[in-house]
C-alpha cells in the first residue's frame, strides 16, 4: 500500500521531469520542425468534491460504517443474554405473538440508533463542514431503512448463537469486518474481484454507501436511489422474516 503510493509519486515526478528533458532536448537538437511542446497534456478535474478533500469522502463513509458497527452487536447481546440467563423462557411462555417479540426487541434499538444517526449527521455538517447538497429527508428515509436492516441482521445472528461470546465474535466476523472491507468504503466495489463483489451484495452497507455519498456530495434526488431504497427495504423484510420464522415459541 505504502509502496504503491510512493511509487505513484515517484512516477509522477519522473514523468514531469521527463517532459521537461524531452522538450529541451528536442528544441536543442531538432530545430523548428520538431521543437516545442509536449504533444498531450492531461487536465484532471474532479466533480462533486473539487479539491478531492478526503474528509468529504471519509465522513459520509464513516456514517454508514458506524450505523452498522454498534446496532447489530447490541441487539445480538440483548437477545443472547436472555438466552444465557434463561429469561428468554418468559418470552416463550408468555401469550405474546412472535412478531410482537420481534418488534418489541427491535423498535427501541432502531429508535436509539436513529437518534444516533441524527447526531452524526449534525456533527458532520456543523463540526466537520462536509459538503451537504442533497435532501435531508431522503437521507433520513434511507437511514431508517438501513438501520432497520442492520438491527434485523443482529436478530438473525442471535438465532445462530447460544453464548454471548460466540454471538459477539460471530457478529464481528460476519457483519463488521465484511462491512468495513467490502462495502466500498475504502475502494469502489467495481475494483474488487468476483469474491469481493459477491460478498458485497450481502451487506446492507454497500447499498447505503453509494446513496449517502451521492446525497451528500452530488445532491441527487429520489429517482437515482429508488433501487437502493428498494434493496434496503427488501433486505429488511428478509432479515426480519428469517428471524420470525426461526424464533420458535415453545408452548408449554
Partner 1 sequence: MWRRMISLLRKEFAQLSRDKAILFILIWSFTGGIYTAGHGMSGDINNLPIVIYDLCRESESRDLISRFRPPYFKVMAYLQAESEITEWLDSGKASLAVIIPPDFKRKIAAGEQAKVQTISDGTISMTATLAIGYIAQIADAYSRQILEKRGQAASLSLKNLPVIDERLRVQFNPNVLSSWFTALLELFNMFTMISLLLTAAAMVREKEYGTLEQLLLSPANPSEIFMAKIIPTVMLVLPLSSLSIFLILKGTFHIPIRGSLLLFYAVTAIYVFTISSLGIAIATVSRNLAQAMMTMFLVLMPMLYLSGAWTPPEAMSPVVRVLTLLSPMRYFIDFGFNVLFKGNGFFYIWPDIIGILIMGVLLFSFSKWWFHRSIAK
Q: Rounded CA gap, 241 and 168, in Å? A: 22
Per rule CB under 8 A, is residue 111 in the interface with partner 1? no
Residue of 50, 96, 99, 118 interacting with partner 1 (CB under 8 A):
50
Backbone angles phi, psi at 225, to 5 degrees: -115, 15
Helix (H/G/I), strand (E/B), else coil: 207: helix
CA dist list (Å): 121 to 1, 126, 144, 176, 216: 31, 9, 13, 21, 10
Interface residues for partner 1 in 153-182 (CB under 8 A)?
Answer: 160-166, 168-170, 172-173, 177-178, 181-182
Task: Give the x-and-dash track for 124-153 against partner 1 (CB under 8 A).
Answer: ------------------------------
- The H-or-E segment that residue 20 falls in is helix 2-29
Nearer to partner 1, 40 or 251 (CB): 40
Per rule CB under 8 A, is residue 22 in the interface with partner 1? yes
Shortest distance in whole angstroms from residue 60 CB to partner 1: 8
Interface residues for partner 1 in 51-110 (CB under 8 A)?
Answer: 52-54, 56-57, 60, 69-70, 73-74, 77-78, 81
Per rule CB under 8 A, is residue 36 in the interface with partner 1? yes
Cβ contact 131:49 at 8 Å = yes
Nearer to partner 1, 27 or 98 (CB): 27
CA dist list (Å): 252 to 34, 86, 97: 94, 15, 15
Amino acid at each position: 500500500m505504502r509502496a504503491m503510493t510512493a511509487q505513484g509519486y515517484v512516477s509522477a515526478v519522473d514523468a514531469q521531469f521527463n517532459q521537461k528533458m524531452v522538450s529541451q532536448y528536442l528544441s536543442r537538437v531538432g530545430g523548428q520542425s520538431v521543437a516545442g511542446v509536449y504533444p498531450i497534456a492531461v487536465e484532471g478535474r474532479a466533480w462533486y468534491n473539487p479539491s478531492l478533500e478526503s474528509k468529504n469522502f471519509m465522513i459520509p463513509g464513516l456514517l454508514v460504517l458506524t450505523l452498522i458497527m454498534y446496532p447489530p452487536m447490541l441487539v445480538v447481546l440483548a437477545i443472547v443474554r436472555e438466552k444465557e440467563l434463561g429469561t428468554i423462557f418468559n418470552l416463550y411462555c408468555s401469550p405474546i405473538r412472535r412478531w410482537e417479540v420481534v418488534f418489541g426487541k427491535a423498535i427501541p434499538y432502531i429508535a436509539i440508533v436513529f437518534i444516533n444517526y441524527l447526531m452524526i449527521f449534525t456533527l458532520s455538517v456543523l463540526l466537520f463542514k462536509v459538503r451537504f447538497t442533497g435532501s435531508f429527508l431522503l437521507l433520513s428515509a434511507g437511514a431508517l431503512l438501513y438501520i432497520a436492516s442492520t438491527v434485523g441482521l443482529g436478530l438473525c445472528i442471535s438465532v445462530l448463537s447460544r453464548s454471548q461470546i460466540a454471538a459477539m465474535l460471530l457478529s464481528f466476523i460476519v457483519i463488521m469486518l465484511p462491512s468495513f472491507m467490502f462495502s466500498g468504503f475504502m475502494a469502489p466495489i467495481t475494483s474488487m474481484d468476483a469474491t469481493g463483489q459477491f460478498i458485497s451484495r450481502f451487506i446492507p452497507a454497500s447499498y447505503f454507501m453509494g446513496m449517502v455519498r451521492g446525497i451528500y456530495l452530488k445532491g441527487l434526488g429520489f429517482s437515482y436511489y429508488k433501487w437502493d431504497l428498494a434493496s434496503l427495504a427488501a433486505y429488511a423484510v428478509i432479515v426480519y422474516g428469517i428471524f420470525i420464522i426461526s424464533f420458535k415459541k415453545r408452548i408449554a
